[in-house]
Amino acid sequence: MSKHNFHGIVPPIVTPINDDGTVNFDDLARLVEYLLVSGVHGLFALGSTGQVCYLSEEDRIAIVECIVRVNAGRVPVIAGAMEVSSQSVIRTANKMIAAGADAIVTTAPMYTINDENEVADHFRAVAAGISVPLFAYDIPVRVHKKLSPGLLVQLGKEGVIVGVKDSSGDDVSFRRLLAMNEAAGKPLSVFTGHEMIVDAMALIGADGAVPGVANVEAEAYVRLWNAAKAGDYATAVKEQKFINQLFEIVFVPTGRSGDAAGVGAFKAAMAARGIISSPAMTAPLRRLDAQTTARIETIVDGLGLSA
Amino acid sequence: MSKHNFHGIVPPIVTPINDDGTVNFDDLARLVEYLLVSGVHGLFALGSTGQVCYLSEEDRIAIVECIVRVNAGRVPVIAGAMEVSSQSVIRTANKMIAAGADAIVTTAPMYTINDENEVADHFRAVAAGISVPLFAYDIPVRVHKKLSPGLLVQLGKEGVIVGVKDSSGDDVSFRRLLAMNEAAGKPLSVFTGHEMIVDAMALIGADGAVPGVANVEAEAYVRLWNAAKAGDYATAVKEQKFINQLFEIVFVPTGRSGDAAGVGAFKAAMAARGIISSPAMTAPLRRLDAQTTARIETIVDGLGLSA
Amino acid sequence: MSKHNFHGIVPPIVTPINDDGTVNFDDLARLVEYLLVSGVHGLFALGSTGQVCYLSEEDRIAIVECIVRVNAGRVPVIAGAMEVSSQSVIRTANKMIAAGADAIVTTAPMYTINDENEVADHFRAVAAGISVPLFAYDIPVRVHKKLSPGLLVQLGKEGVIVGVKDSSGDDVSFRRLLAMNEAAGKPLSVFTGHEMIVDAMALIGADGAVPGVANVEAEAYVRLWNAAKAGDYATAVKEQKFINQLFEIVFVPTGRSGDAAGVGAFKAAMAARGIISSPAMTAPLRRLDAQTTARIETIVDGLGLSA
Amino acid sequence: MSKHNFHGIVPPIVTPINDDGTVNFDDLARLVEYLLVSGVHGLFALGSTGQVCYLSEEDRIAIVECIVRVNAGRVPVIAGAMEVSSQSVIRTANKMIAAGADAIVTTAPMYTINDENEVADHFRAVAAGISVPLFAYDIPVRVHKKLSPGLLVQLGKEGVIVGVKDSSGDDVSFRRLLAMNEAAGKPLSVFTGHEMIVDAMALIGADGAVPGVANVEAEAYVRLWNAAKAGDYATAVKEQKFINQLFEIVFVPTGRSGDAAGVGAFKAAMAARGIISSPAMTAPLRRLDAQTTARIETIVDGLGLSA
């Protein structure tokens, strides 16, 4: 598998849940098929949107198996292995590789207090312990460490990682990452996790995007990306503005946690579109209340996206 | 096991490492014996000082087994189960309970973005999944969530947790926790993790302390605690001042990460005292350099603590 | 003026406001007299509790004049000069000195992004521009820079500052400051700004406290301090626990900003005790609502403190 | 003055300093003329880059007078009034208006702890106290409050502010601000302060940029902006990439504060180009050392920009 397989729209797949709290694998299969038919270029299993840190190990492995089976080799599947130590990441990653994952993505250590040399050695240890390409997931809002562009490109040049999902929200760092990566001969595929500015990030050279709201509306992202790749930025901006109207659903919930609001809004909209059968969440998250859900449905409906 | 077993000086046990990176169980056994002979009132296995998130699951279980075996029932053993989801905490906790742990300690979820209701449900789920007492470990510098006094006392009243290790550094919150706990009939044993102010925290009603530097010098903490319990605060302050001179070792390393500096300084001093055979660290941490180690040894020596 | 004048309970004086938004100088005079009759050891004008950054320059000078006049030399008056540059601090400080302030207190620069050498030079420049003793106010929650114990003791040894008000909430740093100051021959008078733990801080060697809630109840703090100085810590803890029940008023307001809740609660309780005539605030702060005020009055009443 | 005057490249003007620490008004006049000849669309006096919070009031007024005199009405001059209270902002702002400023820019309160209603009232009070258009400067890294898009557009609709300089680095918020502003009929001129992504921000609808590095190289920014306005994004990206190579100068200094490194690097490069005569800084900032300056000069030289 070459790193050049990794590009374009790679949605972080939502994990559908039954009302009894178990994973709804039928819905998951349906969701994966929806994304693939919409033309997405890859699949990101078990990211933050997939509620990776709310699931048992058994469920996480079964989710990868389900995604891999439905995908049937159509696009690359990148699976998230988030654990508290290098050793645990390797153990979980290898179970996901056995389940068919084409690549693994992991974060900087999340509990420990490290400098960049230690973070680099963590990624080196993980890469040495697995047999597929590794991505770095830069998400300081969750792991409270920023991966610098210098660190990432160094790891790319060493062959430790083949790409980055940047959810840091640090645009100076992102632009420098693109420039340093280009100067180094492009060892990395660089993805933005910021779903509201994919048009702008495509203009400046991002290789792709990992947009959570693509679970609700994947086609528009595919149109956006294809337009940008063809140099038609007017269309890319138009599609992004349409998506951003939809993305307002995540700002509807008030008085809820970040995870309950964000994933909850996606699920409410997906249910409204008929993509999944229930907006149920994994414990300890609870679903959004009826009034909030109704307001989200109004947005979905207003954009002509209802089932 | 009643919660009343949990009080006094409960050191978070350092994990000794061989120069080849494996756990040194002989040193660990020796360290546990040193702590018990010094008169500590409990043992805290696999906290941050024990480098819990730098170890494989197998090693963590073997460490608990070793500590339990050497302890032989002399004091309660509380074992840290730090994992990325409620389900994983329960799985690991049960392995530690099978290895002999008397109680489990865990943190708020570390990767997810939650409100207090969700954090409460996480602790409720963990307590429901294990058969021994549960402690809450309040360490926002690592998990980026503060456990409020109201939340903790509520969980205490429900019987979800029996105690708290407070490493939050928030003295307003700590004082309110003590007051609310007292008003609720003392459902919780409240420990401070701030090793430099155990004298002051004893004065205001803390039930105990979890001091990392007790791995280097446990007797002084026991003397401090016994003096405070006898109302002799002049002696408690004198012992604390002595300890604090020793604690300056953690400020000696410069240009190193928090974990490399803190645990590294403890290990360098423990090696200087002959308590462990090597200051080696678990990857990706690297041991302190010779010059830094020499400066630490000078402090240890100046206090008359060398081997 | 020797630094030895600075010790004990030094309340940060609330600024009483008329319902039309102007400063109520009659109430201010009454408040100062209340504090002095209660036995406080100093007065801190125009700190955060005094709403220094909500007032015009003219009002701030008039407030210092009023306090100095009522005080009539009974205790030292320390005035806060918070401004955006070293030059502006000096200009304002000299106006306050002309108004009779015995000492000036200021913070690290609040807008700029500086290292410790630059912060040290800021304090050196301010000290060189004024003719009275200077205090450093360590309040990272407002100026987002922590003053390290090493920096503070260095400035003390140079004669740049004569004391510190520590509102950092960093107890490790505070304990180290006390130890380093003692080792340097006590160039600094060290005050804690944490009003809930004055008993504990007295035990470990603090020279005094700057407690906002002393505006509501000064006598208990004076009793606390005198008991601690006499070595009677049981009484100190008892008085502190009484005060802390009162301090719960600041946690009553919900959905309000930190400044509206904190100063607002003090003012509501002071009005309930008859110490000031109105709980009015300076714009853009608005007073607490009737229901919140009633709940605060219930606490004040329950402690036997109503007018 | 209509808000439609505010658009395009509006550099935040560096304050040239003599080796004796005084302001170099000859250099300042030369710098302003350089910017105007380069085609910039406005001038931003006394922002962070202009070291506003390192200068006396007298110097700040003289700086505005100098800029206004050299500008002679060619483009709008926006002056920064950063002070610790609404009243102080108004006082300073009116002195700058008397000195000829066409508009005022200020931040959220920087010392106080406020909610959005209070921040809104602060801007309302400032606007009511001045006679020229007001801009909001959103710079949480300095004032530790984020101005939400909803707040800003509300203030725009009320006529309180006519524009925003966004230095928040929060791209989700920036994109929402653009969308909400458009939906409200464009009451605001929206400027990005992120100089490395002006091409991308132009694509998505920003009205202009406030790029510090334009003090070193203004022509490229003007070319970038004009290309973007003409729909030629390939050229805009090319110019941005050129600028970004130059912007690497700010990452050259190591071990220095943010302000010393950032403004210091601009000044070193400006001196290398002959735009100013000395890279001297205002106290307590110190100029960069010779080795760092040489490395910056190498970058400037490598881009063909040396004098």
> What is the share, in percent, of chain A residues with pLDDT greater than 90?
97
Contact B200 C197 (CB under 8 A): yes
Across C231-257, average pLDDT: 97
Query: Which pLDDT band, with edges at 50, 70 and 90, does C1 fall under?
Result: very low
Closest chain A residue by Cα to residue B143: A111
Residue D40, number of CB atoms within 10 A of its CB: 26
Of D10, D259, D258, D249, nearest to A176 by C-alpha is D249
> What is the share, in percent, of chain A residues with pLDDT greater than 70?
99
Q: Which residues pair with D192 in a beta bridge?
A: D166, D209
Instruction: Give the pLDDT confidence score for residue C2 in this predicted structure.
Output: 46
Across A109-115, average pLDDT: 96
> What is the share, in percent, of chain C residues with pLDDT greater than 70?
99
Query: Which pLDDT band, with edges at 50, 70 and 90, does C3 fall under?
Result: very low
Q: Is the pLDDT of residue C167 over 50?
A: yes
Q: What are phi and psi of C293, to 5 degrees?
A: -60, -40
Q: Dihedral (C-alpha) A89, A94, A95, A100: value to the nearest 10 degrees?
A: 130
Looking at the domain assignment, is residue B184 inside a domain? yes
* Tokens standing for residue D155: 């203030």
d(CA B197, CA D48) in angstroms, rounded, equals 41
d(CA B130, CA B112) in angstroms, rounded, equals 22
Q: Is the pLDDT of residue C5 over 80?
A: no
Looking at the domain assignment, is residue A266 inside a domain? no
Instruction: Give the pLDDT confidence score for residue B307 in this predicted structure.
Output: 77
Instruction: Give the pLDDT confidence score for residue B306 in this predicted structure.
Output: 84
Q: Low-confidence residues of chain B, pLDDT below 50?
A: 1-4
Instruction: Give the pLDDT confidence score for residue D237 in this predicted structure.
Output: 98
Alpha carbon of D237: minimum distance to chain A alpha carbons (Å): 7
Q: C169: domain range?
A: 8-232
Across C267-278, average pLDDT: 97
Looking at the domain assignment, is residue C128 inside a domain? yes
Instruction: Give the pLDDT confidence score for residue D1 in this predicted structure.
Output: 40
Contact A83 B84 (CB under 8 A): yes
Number of separate domains in chain B: 1
Of C203, C204, C176, C209, nearest to C190 by C-alpha is C209
Closest chain C residue by Cα to residue D59: C87
- Mutation target for B interface from A22, A52, A59, A84: give the one with most B CBs within 10 A: A84
Q: Is the pLDDT of residue C4 over 90?
A: no
When the pLDDT of each residue in chain D is averaged and rounded to a whole number, the result is: 96
Q: What are phi and psi of B192, to 5 degrees?
A: -95, 140
Across A241-252, average pLDDT: 98
d(CA C216, CA C14) in angstroms, rounded, equals 10
> What is the share, in percent, of chain D residues with pLDDT greater than 90?
97
Instruction: Give the pLDDT confidence score for residue D5 in this predicted structure.
Output: 77
- Interface residues from chain C to D (CB-CB < 8 Å): 48, 52-57, 82-88, 91, 107, 109-115, 117-122, 125, 141-144, 256-260, 283-286
pTM, full prediction: 0.96
Looking at the domain assignment, is residue C64 inside a domain? yes
Q: What are phi and psi of C196, to 5 degrees?
A: -90, -10
Task: Look at the alpha carbons of C39, C45, C51, C57 in this order and tell me if their dihedral is positive or negative.
Answer: positive
Neighbours of chain C (3+ CB pairs under 8 A): B, D
Q: Is the pLDDT of residue A43 over 80?
A: yes
* Tokens standing for residue B230: 């006898």
Query: Which pLDDT band, with edges at 50, 70 and 90, does D43 fall under?
Result: very high
Residue C206, number of CB atoms within 10 A of its CB: 23
* Tokens standing for residue D141: 């890294």
Closest chain A residue by Cα to residue B120: A284
Instruction: Give the pLDDT confidence score for residue A303 in this predicted structure.
Output: 97
Instruction: Give the pLDDT confidence score for residue A5 in this predicted structure.
Output: 76
- Interface residues from chain D to A (CB-CB < 8 Å): 169-172, 175-176, 179, 194, 196-197, 199-201, 203-204, 233, 237, 240-241, 244-245
Looking at the domain assignment, is residue D3 inside a domain? no
Q: Dihedral (C-alpha) B47, B51, B57, B62: value to the nearest 10 degrees?
A: -80
CB-based contact C8:C41 (threshold 8 Å): yes
Q: Is the pLDDT of residue D3 over 50?
A: no
Query: Which pLDDT band, with edges at 50, 70 and 90, does D277 fall under?
Result: very high
CB-based contact C121:D284 (threshold 8 Å): yes
Q: Which residues pair with A17 in a beta bridge?
A: A23
CB-based contact C282:C54 (threshold 8 Å): yes
Label residues C166-200 b or e (16+ Cβ within 10 Å = b).
Answer: bbbbbbbbbbbbbbbbeeeebbbbbbbbbbbbbbb
Looking at the domain assignment, is residue A247 inside a domain? no
pLDDT tens figures, D149-172: 999 999 999 999 999 999 999 999
Instruction: Give the pLDDT confidence score for residue D307 in this predicted structure.
Output: 76
Looking at the domain assignment, is residue D288 inside a domain? no
Query: Which pLDDT band, with edges at 50, 70 and 90, does A275 fall under?
Result: very high
d(CA A184, CA A187) in angstroms, rounded, equals 7
- CB contacts of B196 in chain C (<8 Å) are 171-172, 175-176
Contact D259 C91 (CB under 8 A): no
Contact C175 B203 (CB under 8 A): no
* Tokens standing for residue C118: 């630059």
Q: How far is CA B228 from CA B12, B242, D250, in A?
A: 21, 15, 54
CB-based contact B146:B172 (threshold 8 Å): no
At B15, which CATH number?
Answer: 3.20.20.70
Q: Tell me which DSSP letter residue A23 carries.
A: B
Which among B176, B204, B237 is the nearest to C199, CB-wise?
Answer: B204
pLDDT tens figures, A12-32: 999 999 999 999 999 999 999
Instruction: Give the pLDDT confidence score for residue D306 in this predicted structure.
Output: 84
Q: Which residues pair with D124 in a beta bridge?
A: none
At C213, which helix (H) or strand (E)? none
Q: Is the pLDDT of residue D4 over 80?
A: no
Looking at the domain assignment, is residue D142 inside a domain? yes
d(CA A209, CA A222) in angstroms, rounded, equals 10
pLDDT tens figures, D126-155: 999 999 999 999 999 999 999 999 999 999
d(CA D153, CA D163) in angstroms, rounded, equals 9
Contact B110 A54 (CB under 8 A): no
- Mutation target for D interface from C61, C110, C112: give the one with most D CBs within 10 A: C112
d(CA A114, CA A68) in angstroms, rounded, equals 34
Contact D200 A203 (CB under 8 A): yes
More confident position, A1 or C266: C266
d(CA D253, CA D243) in angstroms, rounded, equals 18
Alpha carbon of A96: minimum distance to chain B alpha carbons (Å): 16
